[in-house]
């Protein structure tokens, strides 16, 4: 039993979609196992909805459903606190409160949580020192943790570069393209963004993503739309829109209800991005695919009508 590797549970939601390579490589380099919850299904959604307060956004409800699915199946569940990567580089408050929230919701479960804290704004605590602390809390020697972190960062950067390069090819493909502006965990979730991209594909439209971009370049470009937006992920999306709005036939602003950052940022996009049709689609746990499909169908018709191909 003692020789069993430590098992770290990763809820397949929210920051998992951003940090999956980093996390999985880091723990693998420390000879630990990672267990990822299964893709979102109705049961996960219902369980998360039952655990969350009504005001929680759909992404958070889904996250709690994934955390619940991992209970008792791993030694620790990873629930990091990621607050800020620096000035004008904040994360939504849901990410700041994540470990407290998970600890509180599952307080009776006896499940161990694993966390790390990144706050390069107020506390000047960077990701590397946060990972070092987390590794030490798992009983690993500092040298091994440092090495694992460096290798994980390298793997993460290489995987992202390859993904961005591959994604850029889509803009060169012939045909109608629609840019999806959404947080990755919304765009890729089987109960949120996936039905939207599936619908677009079967309608002969090429979906492209505003968040799959060179992140440093996107942060710089984001200032053209908003010099004051403070959320890191929103700024990446804004930058992606600036870079690609002229390469696409339409933009879909895809949000999870109720999302504070998106409510502000999407309003800004609607006012400042001109010359391209924009559809604002807000998903909640009640939206059936039928309503979404009708809106997508008319949006595609509007684009075709505008371009004289209807
Ligand atoms: S940014 Fe929006 S969707 Fe994401 S966690 Fe915050 S409120 Fe939820």
Residue 208: strand pairing partners = 179
Pocket flag, ligand 1, residue 259 (CB < 6 Å): yes
pLDDT of residue 9 exceeding 60: yes
Pocket flag, ligand 1, residue 256 (CB < 6 Å): yes
Please identify, by atom number, the ligand 1 atom nearest to the C-alpha of residue 231.
1
Structure confidence at residue 2 as a pLDDT band (50, 70, 90): low
Residue identifier of the C-alpha nearest atom 6 of ligand 1: 92
- Signed CA dihedral, 112, 47, 209, 55: sign only: negative
Pocket flag, ligand 1, residue 59 (CB < 6 Å): yes
pLDDT of residue 1 exceeding 60: no
Q: Give 164-210 pLDDT, tens digit per residue.
A: 999 999 999 999 999 999 999 999 999 999 999 999 999 999 999 99
Mean pLDDT value across the chain: 95
Pocket flag, ligand 1, residue 283 (CB < 6 Å): no
In the chain, which residue ranges form alpha helices assigned H by DSSP?
16-29, 42-51, 58-70, 93-96, 98-105, 127-137, 142-171, 184-187, 193-202, 215-225, 232-244, 260-272, 289-306
- Ligand 1 centre from 15 Cα, in Å? 11
Q: Residue 197's pLDDT is what?
A: 97
Pocket flag, ligand 1, residue 88 (CB < 6 Å): no
Q: Which residue has the tokens 């849901």?
A: 94
Pocket flag, ligand 1, residue 92 (CB < 6 Å): yes
Q: Residue 249's pLDDT is what?
A: 97
Residue identifier of the C-alpha nearest atom 2 of ligand 1: 259
From residue 123, give the alpha-carbon distance in Å to each of 86, 89, 287: 10, 14, 40
Please identify, by atom number, the ligand 1 atom nearest to the C-alpha of residue 255.
3
pLDDT of residue 310 exceeding 80: no
Structure confidence at residue 270 as a pLDDT band (50, 70, 90): very high
Pocket flag, ligand 1, residue 94 (CB < 6 Å): yes
Q: Residue 179's pLDDT is what?
A: 98
Q: What is the DSSP letter of 71?
A: T
Give the pLDDT mean for 255-275: 96
Q: Could you give the domains of the chain?
A: 7-156 (3.40.50), 173-306 (3.40.50.11900)
Q: Give 102-160 pLDDT, tens digit per residue.
A: 999 999 999 999 999 999 988 889 999 999 999 999 999 999 999 999 999 999 999 99
- Which residues, in sequence order, are CB contacts of 2 under 8 Å at separation 6+? none
Please identify, by atom number, the ligand 1 atom nearest to the C-alpha of residue 256.
3
- Ligand 1 centre from 153 Cα, in Å? 25
Give the pLDDT mean for 282-308: 87
Ligand 1 mutation pick, 14, 48, 64, 94, max ligand atoms within 8 A of CB: 94
Pocket flag, ligand 1, residue 60 (CB < 6 Å): yes
């Amino acid at each position: 039993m003692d020789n069993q590797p430590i098992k770290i549970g990763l809820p397949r939601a929210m920051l998992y979609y951003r940090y999956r390579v980093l996390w999985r490589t880091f723990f693998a380099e420390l000879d630990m196992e990672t267990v990822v919850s299964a893709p979102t299904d109705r049961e996960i959604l219902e369980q998360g909805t039952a655990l969350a307060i009504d005001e929680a956004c759909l992404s958070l409800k889904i996250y709690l459903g994934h955390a619940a699915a991992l209970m008792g199946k791993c030694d620790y569940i990873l629930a990091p606190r990621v607050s800020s990567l620096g000035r004008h580089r904040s994360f939504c408050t849901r990410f700041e409160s994540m470990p407290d929230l998970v600890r509180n919701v599952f307080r009776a479960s006896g499940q161990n949580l694993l966390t790390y804290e990144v706050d390069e704004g107020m506390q000047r605590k960077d990701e590397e020192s946060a990972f070092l602390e987390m590794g030490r809390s798992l009983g690993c020697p500092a040298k091994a943790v440092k090495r694992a972190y460096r290798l994980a960062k390298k793997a993460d950067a290489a995987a992202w570069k390859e993904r961005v390069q591959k994604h850029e090819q889509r803009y060169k493909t012939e045909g109608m393209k629609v840019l999806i502006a959404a947080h990755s965990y919304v765009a890729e979730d089987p109960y949120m963004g996936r039905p939207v991209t599936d619908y677009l594909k079967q309608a002969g439209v090429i979906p492209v993503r505003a968040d799959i971009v060179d992140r440093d370049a996107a942060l710089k470009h984001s200032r053209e739309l908003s010099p004051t937006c403070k959320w890191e992920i929103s700024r990446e999306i804004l930058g992606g829109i600036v870079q690609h709005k002229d390469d696409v036939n339409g933009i879909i602003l895809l949000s999870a209800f109720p999302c504070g950052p998106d409510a502000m940022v999407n309003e800004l996009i609607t006012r400042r991005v001109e010359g391209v049709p924009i559809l604002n689609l807000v998903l909640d746990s009640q939206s059936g695919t039928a309503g979404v499909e009708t809106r997508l169908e008319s949006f595609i018709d509007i684009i075709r009508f505008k371009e004289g191909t209807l």
